């Protein structure tokens, strides 16, 4: 039975069964009842239904009174992505797919506050291809005070730490990035001046070639290649030209040449000259 033939609620519980079985090694009816708030008979029915479909995935241990994952386990409702699992551990228990959170800690990065009403207005403009005036505080020395400016936004973007909207600026008559936390207010939706299809550097991509830092030892370079899933000690990452600047900053590739310890910047950009030219072109 394909997952598309199942009711949504049943599919969610089957996902949970696979998640618990694979990542935590076992599950029982209590895991389902506590996570979904369902009855014990319903939990038993769900596990039995799942096991009838995929008997090779989990096996019941009568002494432990739990279902354990088997060596033949093959997922049908989840993707075995370590990053998804690890990020799930940092969520609150009621948001996590696991019923038992493992000991986990993360750096508490200060959040940039975003006005929900501004975000709502921007979202509406993106959905309806409209423009809007925003009260924006630039960090440019030439613009010390917040100014009202009209923009036509087309996308939201994150570098993993902050969010901005990619938009056409009616004043500068070009596409720019506006940090959401610096949008202090919004007013007067209006007609669009451009669309996402007009944003050249959003639609053009650049192939970044990453290689291990040559200053590392042979053994260190080998493990870096493994870390990043490189083939032949090289990883190619296709990135929108409008996002190259953030890619470089996020991986600290812009300061790689300043690091005394190559371990502080384990990868470098092999095609750096072409990359720099692309960044300059996209941010001019």
- CATH number of the domain within which 20 lies: 1.10.10.1470
Return the exposure string of 57-95: e unless at least 16 CB atoms fall within 10 Å of the residue's CB, then b. Answer: bbeeeeeeebbebeeeeeeebbeeeeeebeebbeeeeee
| Arithmetic mean of pLDDT, 125-136 | 95
| pLDDT at position 91 over 90 | no
Least confident of 34-43, 76-85, 165-174, 214-223: 76-85
| pLDDT at position 37 over 80 | yes
Tell me how many degrees the CA angle 110-112-114 measures, rounded to the nearest 5: 150
In a domain, 154, yes or no: yes
| pLDDT at position 93 over 60 | no
Residues 190 and 213 in one domain: no
Confidence of residue 5 (pLDDT cuts 50, 70, 90): low
E strand or H helix that includes residue 247: helix 244-250
Residues 208 and 277 in one domain: yes
Residues 193 and 208 in one domain: no
| pLDDT at position 99 over 60 | no
What integer pLDDT is reported at residue 84 of this predicted model? Answer: 79
What integer pLDDT is reported at residue 6 of this predicted model? Answer: 73
Of 152, 172, 198, which residue sits at a domain end?
A: 198
Structural domain boundaries enclosing 70? 3-95
* Residue 37, Ramachandran bin (φ over 0: left; ψ between -120 and 50: alpha; else beta): left
CA-CA distances (angstroms) from residue 174 to 126, 139, 141, 177, 258? 17, 18, 20, 10, 33
Q: pTM score, two decimals?
A: 0.73
- Residues 187 and 177: their CA atoms lie apart, in Å, by 19
- Residues 109 and 52: their CA atoms lie apart, in Å, by 45
Residues 193 and 220 in one domain: no
Residue 142 token pair: 């030439």
Residues 233 and 248 in one domain: yes
| pLDDT at position 92 over 90 | no
In a domain, 107, yes or no: no
The crossing angle, in degrees rounded to 10, of helices 29-36 and 8-19 is 130
Provide the number of structural domains found in the chain. 3
Residues 180 and 124 in one domain: yes
| pLDDT at position 97 over 50 | no
**Tens of pLDDT, residues 185-203:** 999 999 999 999 999 999 9
Within 8 A by CB and 6+ apart from 256, the residues are 213, 265, 268
| pLDDT at position 116 over 60 | yes
- Residues 82 and 102: their CA atoms lie apart, in Å, by 14
Residues 140 and 216 in one domain: no
| pLDDT at position 242 over 90 | yes
- Measuring CA to CA, which residue among 147, 154, 149, 114 is closest to residue 130? 154
| pLDDT at position 66 over 90 | yes
In a domain, 103, yes or no: no
| Arithmetic mean of pLDDT, 96-115 | 72
Find the radius of gyration of the CA atoms of the chain: 25
Residues 230 and 185 in one domain: no
- Residues 179 and 167: their CA atoms lie apart, in Å, by 11
What integer pLDDT is reported at residue 226 of this predicted model? Answer: 97
**Sequence-ordered alpha helix ranges (H) in 81-192:** 82-89, 116-128
CA atoms within 13 A on the CB side of 162: 17
Confidence of residue 278 (pLDDT cuts 50, 70, 90): very high
CB atoms within 10 A of CB 126: 19
| Arithmetic mean of pLDDT, 92-121 | 72
What integer pLDDT is reported at residue 194 of this predicted model? Answer: 96
In a domain, 45, yes or no: yes
Q: Given strand 66-69, what is the order of strands in its sheet?
A: 26-27, 66-69, 58-61
| pLDDT at position 1 over 70 | no
- Measuring CA to CA, which residue among 70, 45, 37, 68 is closest to residue 56? 70
Of 177, 198, 219, which residue sits at a domain end?
A: 198
| Arithmetic mean of pLDDT, 233-237 | 98
């Amino acid at each position: 039975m394909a997952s598309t033939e199942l009711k949504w609620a049943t599919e969610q519980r089957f996902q949970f069964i696979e998640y618990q079985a694979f990542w935590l090694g076992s599950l029982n009816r209590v895991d389902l009842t506590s996570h979904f708030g369902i009855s014990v008979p319903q939990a038993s029915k769900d596990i039995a239904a799942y096991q009838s479909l995929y008997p090779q995935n989990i096996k019941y241990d009568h002494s432990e009174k739990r279902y354990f994952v088997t060596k033949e386990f093959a997922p049908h409702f989840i993707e075995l992505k370590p990053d998804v699992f690890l990020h799930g551990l940092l969520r609150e228990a009621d948001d996590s797919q696991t019923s038992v959170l493992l000991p986990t800690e993360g750096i508490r990065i200060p959040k940039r506050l975003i006005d929900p009403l501004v975000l709502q207005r921007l979202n509406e403009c993106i959905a309806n291809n409209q423009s809007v005036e925003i009260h924006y505080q630039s960090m440019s020395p030439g613009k010390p005070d917040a100014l009202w400016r009209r923009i036509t936004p087309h996308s939201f973007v994150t570098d993993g730490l902050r969010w901005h909207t990619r938009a056409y600026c009616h004043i500068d008559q070009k596409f720019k990035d506006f940090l959401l936390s610096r949008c202090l207010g919004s007013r007067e939706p209006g007609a669009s001046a451009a669309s996402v299809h007009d944003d050249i550097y959003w639609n053009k991509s650049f192939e970044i070639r990453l290689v291990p830092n040559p200053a590392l030892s042979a053994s260190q370079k080998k493990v870096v290649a493994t870390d990043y899933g490189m083939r032949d000690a090289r990883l190619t990452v296709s990135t929108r030209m409008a996002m190259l600047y953030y890619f470089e900053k996020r991986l600290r590739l812009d300061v790689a040449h300043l690091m005394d310890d190559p371990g502080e910047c384990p990868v470098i950009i092999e095609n750096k000259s072409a990359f720099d030219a692309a960044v300059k072109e996209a941010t001019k």
